[in-house]
Structure 1
Amino acid sequence: MPIGVFARRSGLTSSALRFYDDSGLLHPAEVDPASGYRYYTADQLGRATTLRRLREIAMPLPVVAAVLDAGPEEAARLIDDHLARVLGDAEAARRTAVLLKSSLGEAPGLPVATLKGFVLADAVEQVLTATAREPDLPVLGGVRVEVDREAVTLTATDRYRLATRTLVPSEPPATAWAGTVCGDELRAAVAEVRRSALVRVEATAHGIRLRMADREDRYCRSLTEEFPDFRSMLAALPEVTTRVTLSKSVLLRALEEHCGEQVALRFTGGGTHILTAGAGTHLLMAGGGTHLLTAGDERPETRLPATVTGRELGIRFELTTLYPAVSTAVGPDVMLDLRGPDQPVTIRSADHGDLTTLAMPVKPAPAT
């Protein structure tokens, strides 16, 4: 086929095909000796398409040549190496751009709190598990930072979980401050923060600056969208009706071994029962307590030792909601405060109150 037809089918321009011919990456199958016209075959479309895609990810010509002539495993390795370099360069450019923007005509930052680096790093990683990347709701990828005279509070939510961690500053905060900052930029700063004995948090017009001795400052921009009004939601929660305390490691192990996307929990005086919750699962409320039945045949239970106070209760969760809420809890034992099968469950350490997570259950199936 002539070069124009091949260009349309491969997605490359005619000028690009001439360039790749001169570069030795894609020679035409035939060149008319009289006219100099280049002709290609259908068998060359695969190489041409791969070449175009490699150039679309900004791969240098020498590496493109190596990929095109390599076997599948070596080609995949070369692509991974190139992608790692591109992402590394992009992250370095992003950090530099953030620092540049933070210094453009901006007044010195307002000191708001000084925290131990490793404590702040742990807190950031814990609450970030409750963030979400949603293009239509970018604020769900942010962390709400609130500073008062006694504490620094970090909060994040993905609408199904809400995680909040309270920190005691190394020095009394100089002023009250609140804002929502980019979760990805906080995540990128964690490694440096963790290696610093103390981190001074400064508020700026467009975010927060993390100052660390002998390390480069890290800057996290503010998000302009309004953070969800979680305090009103917390204030509106009904009273706790059931409190459960059990081993965190035992519960996590049971969840890891669980099959299915949902998990059903039944809390009784005899402990905690975990059952498979499939599409045909129903909660049956009876005088003898709450029982979870599976349509067709009842599935086996996993019984866990637990201390249960209050009324018996059955509740279901998406496994991807419950597991991270439990795994980030501090300490060996976890406490669950329940308010009903359709209300958020408060999950926290049995003896450390610094980190609290709320997890939304799955709507109970109608009884049949």
Structure 2
Amino acid sequence: VRLSLDGPVMTLAATDRYRYAVRTLEWKPGAGAEAADADVVVPARRLAEIARSLAGAGPARIALDSGSLGFESGGMRTTTRLLDGRLPRHDKLFALGEHALAVTGRVPLTEAVKRVAVVAEGDSPVRLAFSPGGLHLRAGYEDDVASQRLPASLTGADALTVAFNPGYLLDALTSLDSPEVRFHLLGPGQRALLTDGPDPAHRHLLMSVKPLV
């Protein structure tokens, strides 16, 4: 996980080469801090363990030196080592340029993906057909097909169909906590950006696949 500090903003970013998630948080540099800027890479599993152990303990203090990152909260202290290397920068990947925007309810879509994905064999994609009048969700082929329609809006295109790996799509949807999810779409087989609002704190980039039918 890439952890960067830029003034009062902390950015966490992670990728597995198939998707890229970025979360921004507010933080306050402590009194006497030498610098409020940093850019380091830490082990993802260890960082998740630390987050779970400090959950509910109140505000956390962060200390950084040349080889480790330390956390303190509620009387507990823990550290993790820093990793060499750098993650690919997300700035250019997330800059989509001219694109279509589709908006739908996050929870209804999450539940619908779970239902229709039952008939998706292996890595078979779930197809999302957006139009100004709604969203048609579909998975499966030939006689084994599941589908559902949901309310949605679409701007920037008359109609647009994209498809995603259902597991990756569910991971993206459940990582958001907003009532609606916004799909920033370039087209089939191209990258798509999922956000939680017009000024998002969380962004999730997925690569769509071209539907077979």
TM-score by length of 2: 0.86
Contact 1:331–1:351 (8 Å) recurs in 2: no
Does 2:59 match 1:212? no
Return the offset for 1:358. 0.7
Partner Cα separation in structure 1 for residue 169 and residue 179 of structure 2? 17
> What's the CA shift for 1:308?
1.4
Superposed CA offset, 1:252-309 (max 9, x none): 110110121420111112201111144xxxxxxxxxxxxxxxxx56945311111111
Helix, strand or coil at the partner of 1:162: strand
- In structure 1, runs of 5+ residues without a counterpart are 1-142, 279-295
CA distance in 2, matches of 1:323, 1:300: 17
* Long gaps (5+) in structure 2: none
Of the three residues 220, 227, 238, the one matched with 2:87 is 227
Residue 155 in 1 paired to residue 16 in 2?
A: no
Note closer, same or farther for the CA distance 1:300–1:211 as it changes in structure 2 (3 Å cut): closer
- Are 2:172 and 1:309 aligned? no
Residue correspondences, number? 204
Residue of 27, 41, 44 corresponding to 1:183: 44
CA 1:322/1:185 → structure 2, altered by over 3 Å: closer, same or farther?
A: same
Change (3 A) 1:238 1:298: farther
Distance in 2, Cα, partners of 1:298 & 1:182:
42
Residue 265 of structure 1 aligns with an amino acid whose one-letter code is L
Letter in 1 for 2:194: I
Q: 2:125 aligns with which of 262, 280, 285?
A: 262
**Aligned partners of 1:212 and 1:298: how far apart in 2?**
52
Query: In structure 1, the residue corresponding to 2:60 is in which secondary structure?
Result: strand
Distance 1:308 1:332 in 2: 17
**Equivalent pair of 1:272/1:303 in contact (CA under 8 Å):** yes
**1:276 counterpart (132, 136, 139):** 139
Specify which structure has the higher proportion of helix. 1
* Contact 1:264/1:277 (8 A) holds in 2: no
Shift of 1:193: 2.0
Q: Which amino acid aligns with 1:214?
A: G
CA distance, structure 2, for counterparts of residue 298 and residue 187 of structure 1:
39
Find the counterpart in structure 2 of residue 349 from structure 1. 196
CA distance in 2, matches of 1:177, 1:337: 30
The Cα shift of 1:197 comes to 1.6
Distance 1:300 1:193 in 2: 42
C-alpha separation in 1, matches of 2:114 and 2:156: 27
Contact 2:190 2:209 in 1 (8 A): no
Tell me what 1:203 maps to: 64
Q: Could you tell me whether the CA contact under 8 Å between 1:331 and 1:352 is conserved in 2? A: no
Q: Do the aligned residues in 2 keep the contact of 1:317 with 1:360 (CA within 8 Å)?
A: yes
Give RMSD over aligned pairs: 2.2
**2-structure distance, mates of 1:335, 1:270:** 16
Q: How does 1:1-368 map to 2 (within 5 A)?
A: 143-171=1-29, 174-215=35-76, 217-235=77-95, 237-240=96-99, 242-258=100-116, 259-260=119-120, 261-278=124-141, 299=145, 301-311=147-157, 312-350=159-197, 353-365=200-212
2: CA distance, partners of 1:313 / 1:277 = 19
Identity %: 27
Cα displacement (A) at 1:353? 1.2
Higher percent of residues as strand: 2
Taking the aligned partners of 2:50 and 2:65, their CA distance within structure 1 comes to 17
SS at match of 1:239: coil
CA pair 300-199 structure 1, distance change in 2 beyond 3 A: closer
CA distance in 1 between partners of 2:173 and 2:46 (Å) = 25
DSSP-derived class of the 1:251 partner: helix
- Is the contact between residue 266 and residue 272 of structure 1 (CA under 8 Å) also seen in structure 2? yes
